[in-house]
Chains A and B, each alone.
Chain A
Amino acid sequence: MSFNLSYSKTDRDLTQTLNKPKKWWYVAVTLLGLGVAWGAGSWLHQILTGIGVAGKNNPVGWYLYITTFVFWVGIAHSGTLISAILFLFRVKWRSAVYRSAEAVTVFGLATAGLFPLLHMGRVWVFYWTLPYPQMGGLFPNFRSPLVWDVFAITTYLTVSTIFFITGMVPDVAIVRDKAKGWRKKLYGFLAQGWQGTDNQWRHYTQAYVFLAALATPLVVSVHSIVSWDFAMSIVPGWHSTIFAPYFVAGAIHSGLAMVILILMPMRNAFRLKEYITDHHLESLAKFLLFTASMVGFAYIIEVFIAWYSHNPWEQAIFSYRAFGDFKWAFWALFICNLAFPQLFWFKRFRRSTFTLALVSVAVTIGMFFERFVIIATSLAHEYIPFMWGLPDLTFTEMGIVVGSFSWFFFLFMIFAKTLPVVSMWEVKEQQEPPKANT
């Protein structure tokens, strides 16, 4: 589809998002700031008192932090999918939504990236995890998937940030030419001297394709490696070959839900309905249905193979998941991730704001539960009954989780008022150029 708008209207509409914020924005940012402060306070408390205040016990340990970490890495996946993979497939509807999706990626990773630090009892020696040559003989164990994780996520953060910034260059140049004060300096720096000459465009479009091609394998590799944090071990319920593709699908699933969840209020608040149209949300909804089916099918395969394998440990963990201490979370994730999105088989529901919001919220919760079930149940119920145990939930831990959510949305709110949220140049590419006599 193409947009039936003029170039000047596009510039006007898409730069007015940067105007002085209204009251609702300040209220939201203040509330989110309080959430971040709760998280920061909890962290400080944890650092000063010791990791014990976060309820770490045997055998479940860091289950809630790890769950939240995997959740945020997952959220980060839809951005690159929409911006890079759909770009390579020449999918047109991505142009209106990819900027926000990329922001979700970058901020999702910026949130997830805090978690390795949050896990540490002695955070001031965090640099011991990095592979630098030193005298003490301490060196990261390259056979550990956790070290692979460090590399995978750092690479992903680097490439997705470059992609995010590069995609913005022509747009930032437009706002630069009208800005004053600190904004002029910021946009001037980000626009990198962009003048829109033929030569610049030629290099730019070429670089964009290369970056997209580089970013594409990362979508697959990062969450595969996160899944191997679990699958490499021989813990029942974790040691499963399907984990890599199943985690990637799940990551995209949660990421798409988050993108829909962010786009819907944003297009209302910024009056962008002509740009982020119902068609765009519908396309995202169809995609969500696809990922839901893939993830749901993977759940079923896991249960089926646990039964088929006749391996007593695998069977025990799956029956514990379905009928044990956390059965509520297990059934909730099936309903949220698999059942709710099935509504999107019908056009009526894909076009309804209410169901779009409902399903996206359900999937976001469901995907948090999914990671919780995978991590907590397997830790709580390993091989020997003597080792079984349940987690405690402490106020500090909750503070960190709430803080991470606040931090993510806080960053997004700042972004929405600082940089263009919809790509002006790609939207213009899909418009009729202005002609004489019209």
Chain B
Amino acid sequence: MKSRAPQFPIIPPPESPTRLVVWLWVLVAVGIATLAAGISGYETKRVWMSYLINFVFWSGLAQSGIIFSAAYRITNGRWGETIRRVAEGFVFFIPLSIALFLVMYAGKEYLWPWITEPIEAKAAWLNEPFFFARVTFYYTVLAILSYRYVAISIRPDVGLLKENGLAPSSRWVDRVTAKWKDYNSELETRNSKLAKLVPAVLAVFGIVYSFTGFDVVMSLDPHWYSTLYGWLYMVHAFDAGVAATIIVAILARRYFNLQQYVSTKQFYDVSRLLMGLCMLCGGFYWSQYLVIWYGNLGEEIGRLIVRFSHEPWPAFQWAVIVLLYFFPIAIFLSRSIKEKPKALIVIATVILAANWVYQFVEIAPALWTEHSVPLGVVEAGITLGFIGTVGLCWIAYARVVPLVVPAMSETKVENHH
């Protein structure tokens, strides 16, 4: 492989946006306060339910950022280096999400019904110690691989900044760039290391996210089962990850003034990916729905009946179907809208919100038996807490890692057919 000389300019990471960081800390505080209120007896069940919804949503989203980057590499993608870099930025949330999962140990009786009423026939799989041990194990393996992947992926660029005296002082940067040689040989080392690591990251993600779907969410209805559920859970997480990446990329491009380095063509391509993923989610959802509806078996159909005809769920279920599966196809038929950041951020936000509602309508009906809608201050508090945490993690990354990849900053974006 030929060694490439870095093409300047190197764009150093921007100053940390202090005001935003303060606000994000406020959101974290709100989240912690809501959780504390829940633990001490205020709307305890709702707090834990909302916590689980947000946990699966945000941890899946953050993990999918890394998976997007790995998939981009394995397909030899060259169309969106900055977007890839933005997606990798969720990396700090991933190890944290192991701890956030373990927090749910405190609320386990409110969440998985088989913990309070064990099902003898399924006890070999659905028992408390094994459940917490294996889910922690899944997340830990994936977190180690993901962290290692991102550290290797960014090393040449961060090292280059440091070499030029542009890197902010950070112990993390020092660790990532330990034993630095020179840019070109670092690039080669990176490529050969990633060639082995990337398939492993993707394969482990496929296994872990399928089984997380079965364990963490499907087992909320312990008697119900669907062979597709794991993949359904996985593709929705991926979809949310790409939508979130688009939103963050647009915001970062604007607030860090990267317009001249990040062409709107990158948004065009990533929008097509998002549209394809929404179609995939819809296709998978339909594949599961149709088989159950047609079979009309007592042990399966209940889940659909609850969500499609028991108040208050149908409105949410239909919102997901319309906004997550149909709306993206309709809106993204327009070519120009994919290149307009202002319109795109609204569309991606709608899709992201619909993904949240998807998790809500998958989880809440299994736990919430009253007629009221479990959406209010409690849910807002927990959700804001997660937004704050993910936001802080991303900013901590963007403070030290250049979003514009130096070697690619002047690469022309290919014309479309």
Contacts and interface: CB of A to CB of B under 8 A. Distances in A.
Interface residues of A, number: 33
Interface stretch (B87-95, B291-299, B400-408): B291-299
A243 B228 CA distance: 8
A308 interface: yes
A234 interface: yes
A244 interface: yes
Interface in B344-365: none
Interface in B311-348: none
B228 A205 contact: no
Contacts of A298: 227
A311 interface: yes
A241 B299 contact: no
Given A243-B291, A310-B121, A220 B283 contact: yes
B290 A228 contact: yes
B200 to A, nearest CB: 10
B229 interface: yes
Interface stretch (B202-210, B239-247, B248-256): B202-210
Contacts, number: 76
Contacts of A89: 75
A398 interface: no
B297 A231 contact: no
- B75, B122, B210, B417 — which one has the most chain A CB atoms within 10 A of its CB? B417
B297 A239 contact: yes
B291 A305 contact: no
A13 interface: no
B125 interface: yes
A220 B287 CA distance: 11
A46 interface: no
Contact of A240 (B284, B291, B417): B291
A302 interface: yes
A205 B210 contact: no
Contacts of B291: 228, 231-232, 239-241, 243-244
Contact of A242 (B203, B231, B297): B231
A98 to B, nearest CB: 15
A76 to B, nearest CB: 19
Contact of A302 (B206, B227, B294): B227
Interface string A182-215: 0000000000000000000000011011000000
Interface in B259-306: 279, 283-284, 287-288, 290-292, 294-295, 297, 299
A301 interface: yes
B214 interface: yes
B257 interface: no
B184 interface: no
Interface in A283-334: 293, 297-298, 301-302, 305, 308-311
B225 A308 contact: yes
Interface in A214-245: 217, 220, 224, 228, 231-234, 239-245
Nearest to B126: A308
B16 interface: no
A244 B230 contact: no
Given A205-B417, A220-B283, A241 B294 contact: no
Contacts of B214: 305, 308
Nearest to A314: B225
Contact of B210 (A91, A206, A233, A301): A301
A208 to B, nearest CB: 8
Contacts of B230: 301
A242 B290 contact: no
Contact of A245 (B125, B199, B284, B294): B284
Contacts of A301: 210, 227, 230
Contacts of B207: 297
Given A228-B290, A231-B291, A297-B206, A242 B228 contact: yes
B279 to A, nearest CB: 8
Contacts of B411: none
Contacts of B116: none
Nearest to B75: A89
A244 B287 contact: yes
B309 interface: no
A305 B227 contact: yes
B266 to A, nearest CB: 14
A196 B122 CA distance: 67
Contact of B225 (A217, A231, A305): A305
B226 interface: yes
13 contacts: A90-B414, A217-B279, A220-B283, A232-B294, A233-B295, A239-B291, A239-B297, A241-B226, A241-B229, A243-B227, A244-B283, A244-B284, A293-B206
Those 9 A-B pairs whose CB atoms lie nearest each other, nearest first: A242-B227, A244-B287, A241-B228, A241-B288, A242-B228, A241-B226, A309-B225, A232-B294, A310-B121
Given A232-B295, A301-B210, 17 more contacts: A90-B414, A205-B417, A224-B287, A232-B290, A232-B291, A232-B294, A234-B297, A241-B291, A241-B292, A242-B228, A243-B291, A244-B284, A245-B231, A293-B206, A308-B125, A308-B225, A311-B299
